[in-house]
């Protein structure tokens, strides 16, 4: 978990690293978690920590970013750039599309101003900011409301899917993208649910046996319309 690049590691630094590893688990419950790594280069310390673990869950049609990041993490390219998908994704606006306090406040204020449109507003806003929970609720034919007992409530069965925001298994399952509307094929059963990617002939067996999804090439994943389904 500790990579030393460059020259010597000074004793104070060793103590710091030791302290960090003893203290961080208690402070952040994260040391040794999802891909934390400490690099010292010429005395500077860069933490490639992923912070708290990404969420793990499975519903009929989706899985948590943690399920996917368990493999798609701690990656470096040929020249040593850190290119871990899970680590990069977690700090994006989309990973935080549901947790975003400004967004939640905006939905609440719209509802407060238009109480007679509560259901319409909450469901509409959830459809892009909490797309996995919204889609799964449609399939289950249950409420897609956000507040009270809705998606933001930890006791709601779809809360983990909601709070994972615009996540891996949403984007990578979009079929036939059109501007303004994303579609996920919810008719397939695991492990035949397809995860579309940019490479032809991916090695499929590992993901089929562990993640219950099948990786598959699709041209549309490199098309900007994929993003335009929500943007
Ligand atoms: C069709 C998909 C879609 C729907 C439906 C949707 N949003 Fe968004 N929302 C987006 C996208 C995409 C962005 C990011 C836009 C950008 O920055 O270019 C965004 C950004 C936002 C932001 C800015 C967040 C920030 O922290 O800067 C707010 C606030 C917001 N939306 C509120 C709402 C509300 C309220 C509703 C329901 C009335 C709603 N959205 C419905 C797609 C959607
Ligand atoms: C906003 C949509 C979106 C989200 C969310 C997303 N991806 Fe992707 N992903 C893409 C697109 C688009 C590409 C193709 C990029 C390209 O061709 O350059 C891609 C490429 C990939 C690849 C191919 C390998 C590579 O390095 O290009 C993998 C593996 C992958 N994503 C896994 C994940 C995982 C795991 C997550 C969640 C932690 C995730 N993706 C979240 C859209 C998304
Ligand atoms: C057990 C490890 C493992 C897990 C878990 C896993 N993957 Fe993969 N993934 C792989 C392997 C191995 C490949 C194929 C790499 C190759 O062919 O070089 C792959 C390929 C991909 C690709 C590229 C497919 C293509 O054709 O371009 C995407 C996208 C992807 N995974 C997304 C995901 C998503 C989303 C999840 C979560 C549901 C996930 N992976 C979970 C191991 C895993
Ligand atoms: C399922 C809907 C959805 C899809 C598909 C989607 N996005 Fe987003 N995106 C959002 C939402 C919602 C936000 C705003 C989150 C927030 O701030 O609350 C957002 C925010 C962003 C932001 C931050 C904008 C800002 O003003 O800071 C970028 C950049 C972005 N998306 C790029 C992409 C790209 C690139 C793709 C395609 C690979 C994509 N998005 C696909 C829903 C989506």
HEC sequence for 109-171 = HHHHHCHHHHHHHHHHHHHHHCHHHHHHHHHHCCCCCCCCCCCCCCCCCCHHHHHCCCCHHHH
pLDDT of residue 53: 81
Ranges 27-41, 81-95, 123-137, 194-208: which has the least confidence: 27-41
Share of the chain above pLDDT 70, in %: 77
Is 43 domain-assigned?
yes
Share of the chain above pLDDT 90, in %: 71
Is 108 domain-assigned?
yes
Counted domains in the chain? 2
Full DSSP string of 11-37: HHHHHHHHHHHHHHHHHHS-TTSSS--
pLDDT in tens, 145-165: 999 999 999 999 999 999 999
Q: What is the mean pLDDT of the chain?
A: 84
Distance 118 CA to ligand 1 centre (A): 17
> What is this structure's pTM?
0.88
> Residue of the nearest CA to atom 36 in ligand 4?
227
Residue 38 shares a structural domain with residue 119: no
pLDDT in tens, 52-74: 689 999 999 999 999 999 899 88
| CB of 98 shorter than 6 A to ligand 4 | no
> Residue of the nearest CA to atom 41 in ligand 4?
227
Residue 221 shares a structural domain with residue 133: yes
Is 185 domain-assigned?
yes
**Any long-range contacts for 108-114 (C-beta under 8 Å, 24+ apart)?**
108/147, 111/147
Residue 200 shares a structural domain with residue 133: yes
Q: Is the pLDDT of residue 39 over 50?
A: no
- Please state the rounded mean pLDDT for residues 185-198: 96
Is 190 domain-assigned?
yes
Residue 131 shares a structural domain with residue 190: yes
Is 90 domain-assigned?
no
pLDDT of residue 156: 98
Domain boundary residue among 53, 75, 92?
53
Q: Is the pLDDT of residue 210 over 70?
A: yes
Residue 153 shares a structural domain with residue 224: yes
Is 153 domain-assigned?
yes
Distance 178 CA to ligand 3 centre (A): 25
| Residue 22: domain span | 1-53
Residue 39 shares a structural domain with residue 136: no
pLDDT higher at 119 or 29: 119
Is 221 domain-assigned?
yes
> Residue of the nearest CA to atom 15 in ligand 2?
222
Q: Is the pLDDT of residue 49 over 60?
A: no
């Amino acid at each position: 978990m500790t990579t030393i690049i460059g020259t010597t590691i000074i004793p104070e630094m060793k103590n710091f690293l030791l302290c960090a590893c003893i203290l961080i688990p208690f402070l952040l419950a994260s040391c040794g978690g999802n891909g934390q790594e400490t690099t010292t280069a010429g005395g500077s310390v860069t933490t490639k920590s992923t912070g708290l673990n990404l969420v793990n869950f499975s519903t009929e049609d989706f899985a948590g970013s943690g399920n996917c990041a368990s493999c798609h993490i701690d990656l470096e390219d040929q020249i040593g750039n850190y290119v871990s998908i899970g680590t990069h994704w977690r700090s994006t606006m989309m990973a935080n599309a549901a947790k975003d306090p400004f967004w939640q406040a905006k939905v609440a204020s719209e509802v407060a101003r238009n109480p007679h449109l509560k259901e319409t507003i909450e469901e509409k806003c959830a459809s892009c900011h909490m797309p996995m929970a919204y889609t799964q609720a449609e399939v289950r034919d249950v409420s897609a409301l956000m507040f009270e007992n809705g998606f933001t409530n930890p006791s709601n069965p779809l809360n983990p899917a909601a709070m994972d925001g615009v996540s891996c298994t949403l984007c990578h399952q979009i079929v036939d993208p059109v501007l303004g509307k994303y579609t996920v094929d919810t008719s397939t059963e695991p492990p035949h649910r397809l995860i579309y990617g940019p490479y032809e002939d991916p090695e499929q067996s590992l993901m089929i046996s562990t993640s219950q999804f099948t990786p598959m090439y699709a041209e549309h994943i490199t098309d900007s319309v994929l993003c335009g389904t929500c943007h």
